[in-house]
């Protein structure tokens, strides 16, 4: 808490979450194989989401647990 003149200022915490999303098509023999290919591509930074993949922003009060 910080005192400014006679006002008492409180500290508030807010969480900001941004959602990014992109549809990726991959050829594979099974859905499991496709998932593993996409996961590896993402891990190897062959797929990098950026501002063009922006969907939404949510701002909410952060509550310490």
pLDDT higher than threshold 80 for residue 40: yes
User: Domain count of the chain?
Assistant: 1
| Residues contacting 21, CB < 8 A, separation 6+ | 49, 53, 55
Q: Is the pLDDT of residue 13 over 70?
A: yes
Domain containing 9 equals 2-61
- For residue 31, pLDDT over 90 is answered with yes
Q: pTM for the whole thing? A: 0.71
38 sits in the region (left: phi over 0; alpha: psi -120 to 50; else beta) called: alpha
pLDDT of residue 7: 81
Does residue 38 carry a pLDDT above 70? yes
- pLDDT value at 15 more than 70: yes
Residue 1 clears pLDDT 70, i.e. is over it: no
CB-hemisphere CA count at 13 Å for 21? Answer: 5
């Amino acid at each position: 808490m910080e005192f400014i003149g006679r006002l008492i200022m409180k500290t508030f915490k807010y969480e900001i979450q941004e959602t990014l999303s992109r549809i990726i098509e991959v050829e594979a023999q099974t859905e499991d194989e496709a998932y593993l290919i996409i996961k590896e591509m993402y891990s190897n930074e062959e797929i990098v989401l950026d501002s063009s993949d922006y969907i939404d922003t949510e701002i909410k009060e952060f509550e310490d647990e």
